[in-house]
Structure 1
């Protein structure tokens, strides 16, 4: 198989390729292609042609992207095209991950085989087939969901729960970020980012997993060079130190901060929204975390401190309960 050829998956019916091959009118004409399914982000140009039936799925090749939700549409589209006597070419950028996953999903349903057998079937014809680990799990879920995605079904929710755990694990293991999980899979407290790494880490969180929001509190600062949209992060500007005057400034802003966090964390989204509180001054970060617990769970200052103490790897500041009791009522 050359780099400029399409791979025949089902005899004279279904083909796989990279984007360059898919854009070749000569290749499409020689194969008699009537339908092209592109799974690419907008940065990869769509096919500039009018003689084809063309379906475009806008999705990057990242482990935690939800390709599963598209599989009923893509499988039916392929099936309908083949039933009409058409010939289908499926492609992504390299013809290795996204497009392979879509073709495997169709093969799973058509041949009534499991995802492992489907991948082996495709790989025997296209050796560079290598869906990313997240897409492999979604192929398993596709079978568990019986080829129909109902967002409230137990099988789909099970896959989503696994994905949420995988994202948290990725943050901790792959990125080396030590996070205190204040509210499971939603609210995190961090004091350990190195300033030199902050832009790279935040870029990954924002660009790869867009439901992350960052709340930074002085003395931590989001660098001015960080150019992402302001709705992705919020900064609380305070003076140096944790003296009474600066803490009063923080407490005066808590109602709006807590409301901002609550709106994010209760929003409907495919991937659970997350807020990371980032502050090198432990007591400031702990104040915000406890204030959110008091507001969202309707608990007392003492109960919120106990929750934080039970989840935190670092020592809870001895002043925390007194500060909350004197300055904040949810």
Structure 2
């Protein structure tokens, strides 16, 4: 059965099978699990651990950047309280590795490239999809935090909004109003 890999003290990375491997969880004294996946783990497991699920699809255009703050906070709180956290997705290759890389960028002030190289040196087969790679680069460009005033972030948000509109998934004006109001004074004459 799959096991998780220790990335840094108190932080492990793996796939769903590692999250379901109770023997490995106990052997590594894992106290927290963060699922970065489409579906949460079964209740029978999550009731025994401190558990958090963040919805994420492994698609180029999925906005993983928006789950970075919650995920980083969860990992940080677990580690600072002396806990050990396993971050997983389906295979431990793309979604969860991108979240772990973002955490290292934030916590250890690593560049995206250094964080990817470091995690790859431990878990050799990680490969955040190209969209997640771009979001990690944006995260680095913003100083490993979400800066809603950063021009690249605003362009990213506008692009997401345009895609929603084109796909017929745009539900109303709230997102657009928030986006426009932030810079409205700059375009008013």
Q: Report matched runs for 1:141-156 at 5 Å.
A: 141-156=138-153
Q: Match for residue 113 of structure 2? A: 116
Q: Match for residue 44 of structure 2? A: 48
Is 1:32 the equivalent of 2:29? yes
Whether the 8 Å CA contact 2:3–2:21 is kept in 1: the answer is no
Greater than 6 Å deviation, 4+ residue runs: none
The separation in 2 between residues aligned to 1:152 and 1:48, in whole angstroms, is 42
Is 1:80 the equivalent of 2:35? no
Q: Secondary structure at the match of 2:44?
A: coil
The separation in 1 between residues aligned to 2:165 and 2:37, in whole angstroms, is 18
Q: Secondary structure at the match of 1:140?
A: helix
What root-mean-square deviation, in Å, do the aligned CA atoms of Structure 1 and Structure 2 show? 2.5
For 1:76-110, what per-residue CA distance to the aligned partner results, in whole angstroms no more than 9, with x for missing partners? 11111111110010000000000000000011112
TM-score computed with the length of structure 2 as normaliser: 0.82
Whether the 8 Å CA contact 1:23–1:47 is kept in 2: the answer is no
TM-score computed with the length of structure 1 as normaliser: 0.49
Of 170, 173, 188 in structure 2, the residue corresponding to residue 267 of structure 1 is: 173
Is 1:10 the equivalent of 2:8? yes
Unaligned runs of 5+ in 1: 165-184, 187-208, 214-231, 233-263, 271-330
Q: Which has the higher contact order (CA 8 A, sep 6+)?
A: 2
Measure how far apart 1:15 and its partner are.
0.6
Q: Secondary structure at the match of 2:73?
A: helix
Unaligned runs of 5+ in 2: 177-189
- Cα distance 1:29–1:152, how it changes in 2: closer, same or farther (>3 A)? same
For 1:103-153, what per-residue CA distance to the aligned partner results, in whole angstroms no more than 9, with x for missing partners? 000111122111011000000000110000000011111122223324454
Aligned length, in residue pairs: 175
The separation in 1 between residues aligned to 2:38 and 2:165, in whole angstroms, is 15
- Cα distance 1:210–1:87, how it changes in 2: closer, same or farther (>3 A)? farther
Measure how far apart 1:59 and its partner are.
1.3
